[in-house]
């Protein structure tokens, strides 16, 4: 629906033409996203940035514009199509890549990648393998990006011990009186405290390299070409920051290799699909095996479990704090999501040896 604020924001990017249609895209849980079509037959994605989550739009957009320009150059070097394989953000008349409206709403806009779609669940093994290649290539193309110029858009985003501490505070404060009804989930988290610091300990010991990572690699954050069904373009670039390969690998597994959707209430449907896990490992390592260290490879499967655990902790914390962070459609939404993630964690624990063996199999295949 075309509202006044959407029209004003669109006009700030000075592309000309009149809006003929607006469609909200609700797949993401953070920003408000609109597909805009104009009478000049042009299509754009206009996004209102969630300013509760992202406090510094200037730093955020500098990261994103810097990274997408870097990607464009690389894509052109290998003969790819930089109009489809990366997002192209549009400046306003003042040269800034975002617009602040009269209510302090912050907006940005990029050219819509046409003839492409996203999947919430892999359509088949090939789709998921292809996503693995694309996220792996993304990290590879950014290997020489100056990481120290990146602004930390969400401080401690994948710092699981810090997430754990926030969770404990939320339990303690219990501002919504929800603690009692989710004691099972609270106990689940507390009993796995030791897992929270395994990767941060390895970082502190200098045993894991920080890389430029995406940090939010769920399957619907990559676009697929409708004609070929190959994944082409990584989207949702707000959390690009220095991070670990396990974060990107892990979050893809969390979201794509769960047999159920993230907010499935029937927990008997939630489990890790090892065939999908394998197909993603194949795609991801086909691009990255040579650059990953042995310690990274040994921790990839654990990373999948940790990202699932951390996401569950975040959903549970948000439930305890009254649903202030993630978009929800009903009061139980966050606790449903948390229990779902914890069921997946428990299932991954059962299959951890198999998951590690699969990673080693593809290490042998791809590492020269
Ligand atoms: C959010 O923005 P979106 O929907 O792609 C969240 C991720 C969570 C995910 C859970 C910036 O991702 O960290 O894993 O929801 N993004 C942010 O679905 O917090
Ligand atoms: Mg998204």
CA-proximal residue: ligand 1, atom 9 (nearest):
29
Which residues, in sequence order, are CB contacts of 273 under 8 Å at separation 6+?
257, 258, 259
Which percentage of the chain shows pLDDT scores above 90? 98
**pLDDT band (50, 70, 90) for residue 368:** confident
* Average pLDDT of the residues of the chain: 97
Q: Among 119, 45, 84, 74, which residue's Cα sits nearest to residue 233?
A: 84
Q: Which of 155, 216, 260, 313 to mutate to test the pocket of ligand 1 (most atoms within 8 A of CB)?
A: 216
To test ligand 1's pocket by mutation, which of 26, 28, 30, 155 has the most ligand atoms within 8 angstroms of CB?
Answer: 30
Q: How confident is the model at residue 267 (pLDDT cuts 50, 70, 90)?
A: very high
How many angstroms is it from 30 CA to the middle of ligand 1?
7
Q: What is the pLDDT of residue 110?
A: 98
Shortest-distance Cα residue to atom 7 of ligand 1: 216
The reported pLDDT for the residue numbered 153 is 96
Q: Residues 341-358, buried b or exposed e (16+ Cβ, 10 A)?
A: bbbbbbbbeebeeebbeb
The residues near 26 (Cβ < 8 Å, ≥ 6 apart) are 33, 327
Distance CA 329, CA 51 (A): 20
Residue 1, beta-bridge partner list? none
Q: How far apart are CA 53 and CA 55, in angstroms?
A: 6
Q: Is the pLDDT of residue 1 over 90?
A: no
- φ, ψ dihedrals at 237, nearest 5°: -95, 15
Is pLDDT above 90 for 308? yes
Q: What is the mean pLDDT of residues 66-89?
A: 97
Write out the two tokens for 161.
Answer: 């011990």
223 pLDDT more than 90:
yes
* 3-state SS class at 31: coil
Q: What is the mean pLDDT of residues 247-263?
A: 98
pLDDT of residue 220: 95
Ligand 1: centre distance to CA 238 (Å):
10
**Rounded mean pLDDT, 107-116:** 97
Digit-coded pLDDT (tens) for 48-66 = 999 999 999 999 999 999 9
> Which ligand is located closest to the Cα atom of residue 52?
1
Chain segment 164-211, per-residue pLDDT in tens:
999 999 999 999 999 999 999 999 999 999 999 999 999 999 999 999
Interval 12-29: pLDDT, tens: 999 999 999 999 999 899
Mean of the pLDDT values across residues 103-121? 96
Arithmetic mean of pLDDT, 231-240: 97
**Runs of H (alpha helix) within 13-85:** 57-77
**How close is the Cα of 32 to the center of ligand 1, in Å?**
13
What tokens appear for 196 in the block?
């929270």
For 43-48, what is the mean pLDDT?
98
Question: What is the average per-residue pLDDT within 269-291?
Answer: 98
Report the candidate in 342, 256, 352, 254 with the shortest Cα–Cα distance to residue 304.
254
Which ligand number lies closest to the CA of residue 310?
1
**Polymer length in residues for the chain:** 368
Q: What percent of the chain has pLDDT over 70?
A: 100
What atom in ligand 1 is closest to the CA of residue 30? Answer: 2
């Amino acid at each position: 629906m075309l509202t006044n604020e959407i029209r004003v924001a669109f006009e700030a990017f000075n592309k000309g033409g009149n809006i003929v249609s607006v469609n909200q895209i609700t797949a993401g849980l953070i920003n408000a996203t609109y597909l805009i079509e104009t009478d000049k037959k042009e299509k754009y994605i206009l996004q209102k940035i969630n300013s509760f989550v992202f406090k510094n739009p200037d730093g955020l957009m500098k990261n994103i514009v810097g990274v997408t320009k870097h990607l464009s150059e690389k894509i052109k070097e290998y003969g790819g199509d930089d109009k489809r394989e990366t997002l192209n953000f549009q400046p306003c008349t003042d040269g800034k890549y975002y617009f602040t409206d009269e209510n302090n709403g912050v907006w940005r806009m990029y050219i819509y990648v046409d003839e492409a779609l996203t999947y919430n669940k892999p359509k088949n093994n090939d789709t998921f393998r292809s996503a693995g290649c694309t996220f792996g290539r993304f990290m590879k193309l950014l290997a020489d990006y100056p990481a120290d110029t990146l602004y930390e858009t969400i401080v401690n985003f994948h710092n699981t011990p810090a997430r754990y501490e926030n969770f404990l505070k939320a339990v303690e404060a219990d501002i919504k009186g929800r603690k009692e009804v989710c004691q099972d989930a609270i106990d689940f988290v507390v009993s796995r405290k030791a897992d929270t610091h395994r990767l941060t300990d390895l970082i502190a010991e200098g045993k894991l390299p920080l890389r430029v990572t995406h940090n939010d690699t769920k399957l619907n954050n990559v676009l697929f070409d409708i004609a070929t069904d190959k994944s082409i373009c990584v989207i949702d670039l707000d959390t690009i920051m220095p991070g670990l390969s396990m974060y990107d690998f892990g979050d893809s597994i969390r979201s794509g290799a769960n047999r159920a959707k993230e907010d499935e209430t029937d927990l008997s449907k939630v489990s890790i699909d090892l065939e999908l896990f394998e197909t993603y490992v194949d795609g991801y390592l086909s691009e990255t095996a040579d650059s990953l260290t042995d310690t990274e490879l040994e921790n990839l499967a654990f990373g999948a479990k940790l990202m699932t655990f951390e996401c569950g902790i975040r959903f549970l914390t948000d439930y305890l704090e009254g649903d202030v962070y993630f978009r929800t459609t009903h009061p139980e939404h966050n606790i449903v999501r948390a229990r779902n993630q914890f069921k997946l964690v428990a299932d991954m624990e059962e299959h951890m040896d198999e998951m590690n063996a699969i990673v080693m199999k593809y290490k042998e295949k791809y590492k020269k």
